[in-house]
Amino acid sequence: MSELVLAAFAAETGRHVVDEPREHRFQRFRRGFDEAAFRASLAARGLQFIGRSEGLYPATLRELHDPPPGLFLRGGGAVELLGRRSVAIVGARACSSYGSQVARLLGRELASAGLVVISGLARGIDGEAHRGALEAGGQTIAVLGCGIDRDYPAAHAQLAGRVGESGLVVSEYAPGVEPAPWRFPARNRIIAGLAAATVVVEARERSGSLITADFALEAGREVFAVPGEITSALSAGTNALLRLGATPLTSAADVLEVLGIELASVAPPVFAEDPARVLGALTRESAGVDGLVRQTGLDAAAVATALAELELVGAVAEADGLYRAVRPQG
């Protein structure tokens, strides 16, 4: 008997089930459970299930003290993707533009270095990390805190589809399980468990991302935190992690170094005079167009032209009217 019955029982009772429950109710359920029919209905919906006892079940996940009984999968990526070396990028849902740009950059650069990017499909940092990985043509895994057939949040249904094109959407919950607040910390243990390293981009105090970091530490994985402004509530969690000894992340190369991956050095792009001047101003301080006009002495039209050129090569990004340099300097 595979672990599928555990997942089905958990869905039936709305509980979190890791080990075989010792109760009559479960025994009764097991006797009435038709595994073949359940598997057929999964296959009909393009879903897969791998149990804890199967060979394809990721070894990294087994190291957790309460590994999920099995994982439901959907998407075009191979199941082996779960065993590939991967990095989790997690953070606040209501993030700042700085946070979302860092998440996107990390997603892009780590994916193009060949790592699988894992996150939770949530709004904010999670979504940006997935998008960054997809932008680089890399593979990414989204771990859900609800039934595998649900897209949560609904706004990210399209993103889930794109993740599934080449990657995987994963959940320990059978189809039909509703998202509930207590399921997300459980989801976070899978994110931390699958990844060789976890990066926390922005987190408030007592945030779910810190729970992910705790799980990663517990499993003996590397935890990185992106330093933020000490005055911002959005950085309180990450800065606290740093104080407790997390590795500060200053560029994607920090992660690659710890994982022992050589990063092919890329020569910094060379810009014409105006864009170079604008980029120079932006590396000192993020600014709006008007601020740049004052700092560079160029007119509004010339600054806009330079910014568009910089944006096209991914050197700057705009959010809410403020432009900032995207690449870490130095």
**Which of 39, 289, 327, 328 lies at the binding interface for other proteins (CB under 8 A)?**
289
Asked whether 77 and 166 are in contact (CB, 8 A), the reply is yes
Asked whether 151 and 128 are in contact (CB, 8 A), the reply is no
**Which of 305, 324, 327, 328 lies at the binding interface for other proteins (CB under 8 A)?**
305
Instruction: Name every residue whose Cβ is closer than 8 Å to that of residue 171 and which is 6 or more positions away in sequence.
Output: 71, 72, 143, 144, 145, 146, 147, 148, 177, 187
**Which of 314, 324, 327, 328 lies at the binding interface for other proteins (CB under 8 A)?**
314
**Which of 268, 312, 329, 330 lies at the binding interface for other proteins (CB under 8 A)?**
312
- Residue 259 sits at φ, ψ, to 5 deg, of -85, 0
Q: Considering the complex, what minimum distance in angstroms separates the CB of residue 300 from other proteins?
A: 4
- Residues 171-230 touching other proteins, rule: CB under 8 A, are none
Asked whether 119 and 201 are in contact (CB, 8 A), the reply is no
* Residue 320 sits in the site that holds other proteins (CB under 8 A): yes
**CA distances (Å), origin 25, targets 13, 29, 30, 191, 311:** 10, 6, 9, 31, 60
Question: CB under 8 A: which stretch of 26-34, 37-45, 80-88, 300-308 binds other proteins?
Answer: 300-308
**Which of 94, 180, 244, 276 lies at the binding interface for other proteins (CB under 8 A)?**
94
Which of 120/193 has CB closer to other proteins?
A: 120
Which of 254/309 has CB closer to other proteins?
A: 309
**Which of 137, 157, 294, 297 lies at the binding interface for other proteins (CB under 8 A)?**
294
**Which of 76, 248, 280, 288 lies at the binding interface for other proteins (CB under 8 A)?**
288
* Residue 157 sits in the site that holds other proteins (CB under 8 A): no
* Residue 276 sits in the site that holds other proteins (CB under 8 A): no
Instruction: Name every residue whose Cβ is closer than 8 Å to that of residue 80 and which is 6 or more positions away in sequence.
Output: 56
Strands 70-74 and 168-171: antiparallel
Question: CB under 8 A: which stretch of 11-19, 55-63, 139-147, 291-299 binds other proteins?
Answer: 291-299
**Which of 232, 247, 251, 283 lies at the binding interface for other proteins (CB under 8 A)?**
232
The DSSP line for 233-256 is GGGHHHHHHHHTTPEE-SSHHHHH
* Residue 151 sits in the site that holds other proteins (CB under 8 A): no
The tokens for 85 are 């070396």
Paired residues of 200 in beta bridges? 90, 225
- Residue 200 sits at φ, ψ, to 5 deg, of -100, 120
Report how far residue 91's alpha carbon sits from residue 207's, in angstroms, rounded to the nearest whole number.
8
Question: CB under 8 A: which stretch of 25-33, 212-220, 248-256, 310-318 binds other proteins?
Answer: 310-318
> Interface residues with other proteins (CB under 8 A)?
93-94, 123-124, 153, 155, 232-234, 288-291, 293-294, 299-301, 303-309, 311-312, 314, 318-322
